[in-house]
Amino acid sequence: MIGLFFVIDGFEKPAPYVMAIFMKPIGWASSIVIEHFFLSKHRYFYNNMGLGFRKILLNIIYYDIAILIITIIICWLCRDLLLTVLPSNLINKQY
Amino acid sequence: MQGLIIDSVTKQFNQQAILNGVFFNCKISEVVGLLGRNGSGKSTLLKIIFGTVNADFKHLKLDDKLISKGYLSRNISYLPQDNFIPINLSVLQAIEIFCNTHRNDLLNIQFVADNLQTKFKDFSGGERRLLEALIIIYSDAEYVLLDEPFSQLAPLLVDELKQHINKIKSFKGFIITDHYYQSILDTSDRIILLHNGCNYQIQNTDDLILHGYLPDFRE
């Protein structure tokens, strides 16, 4: 969604970006908690592959960033289509 | 100096020193047996080497390179006391993850070849233990830490596991700990006893009696 807003509106409407900056750390914090429970069960399986807690968490963040970049690229490529099919109030007035 | 060097390992639990300056080394084509009473710190030492337990102080070198956690080097594998491979994984999937260099040796084992598509949840406790031990023994890492590999195994399987360790030890260095001390004595080139937080080089069973690991029936 943030990628979509960025392509449509650029930096003009900062609200969704502020929301993203607020939401992302919460998402990552939840990932840490989930990963902790998950790793406590399968710790040695991943450790034997050379993967530690930090490496897995960094991978989650890298994948997150990669997905964001891919979304922005796809939205940019399909910009005209999105501007046509999206409801006008989403684009012009309110989110 | 090539090999795995463990030096000055110190670890306290509740202000009681479990390991106090423990040191030893392990080279390729060598099996080092680690013996000690319950609570002497054998498993803790292996976990410190592997990197899942933090020592109060340690000096760990792998082939002249200082390392903080063994598993990050990707050259040390560890068989924990409990099962560690997810139960929904099949034997073949686990082999593909951990064993590339010696995969064929592992696939030549009859029991493994017969159960490639079987998931770990469908094995008995002993079978699962044997498979996990074999996967770690034949894994790509050059140094293998085995924590009680013979427990839960029937005598025939213990013998089979010992044969596999002997077969592949020219490519790898092993550090093994178990309470089946006779199996450790049979398999190991060198024995180290952990006692009172320190390590002692053991030459024969008399040394084990001397340090109070075995009862002295001659008295």
Shortest CB distance from A44 goes to which of B69, B72, B84? B84
pTM of the model: 0.82
B16 - beta bridge partners? Answer: B13
The boundaries of the domain holding residue A64 are: 2-92
Please state, for a pLDDT cut of 90, what percent of chain B lies above it. 84
Q: Is the pLDDT of residue B58 over 90?
A: yes
B154 vs A81, which has greater pLDDT? B154
Q: Is the pLDDT of residue A10 over 70?
A: no
What value does the mean pLDDT take over residues B174-194? 93
Contacts of A47 in chain B (CB under 8 A): 50-52, 71, 78
CA distance A44 to chain B (A): 6
pLDDT band at A87 (very low <50, low <70, confident <90, very high): low
In this prediction, residue A91 carries a pLDDT of 54
Contacts of B136 in chain A (CB under 8 A): 48
* Total number of domains constituting chain A: 1
CA distance B111 to chain A (A): 22
Name the 3-class secondary structure at B159.
helix
B43 touches chain A (CB under 8 A): no
By C-alpha distance, which of B109, B84, B100 is closest to B161? B109
Cα dihedral B12/B16/B19/B20 (nearest 10):
100
In this prediction, residue A31 carries a pLDDT of 79
What value does the mean pLDDT take over residues B63-88? 93
Choice among A40-49, B111-120, B174-183, B209-218 with the minimum mean pLDDT: B209-218
How open is the CA angle B189-B190-B193, to the nearest 5 degrees? 145
Q: Is the pLDDT of residue A95 over 50?
A: no
In this prediction, residue B210 carries a pLDDT of 87
Residues 6+ apart with CB under 8 A from B203: B191
Tokens of B180: 């089946």
How open is the CA angle B128-B133-B136, to the nearest 5 degrees? 125
Chain A segment 52-71 residues within 8 A of B by beta carbon are: 52
Q: Which CATH class is domain B4-210?
A: alpha beta
CA distance B202 to B34: 10
CA distance B136 to chain A (A): 9
CA distance B73 to chain A (A): 7
Q: Where are the domains of chain B?
A: 4-210
In this prediction, residue A75 carries a pLDDT of 79
Contacts of A38 in chain B (CB under 8 A): none
ipTM greater than cut 0.90: no
pLDDT band at B29 (very low <50, low <70, confident <90, very high): very high
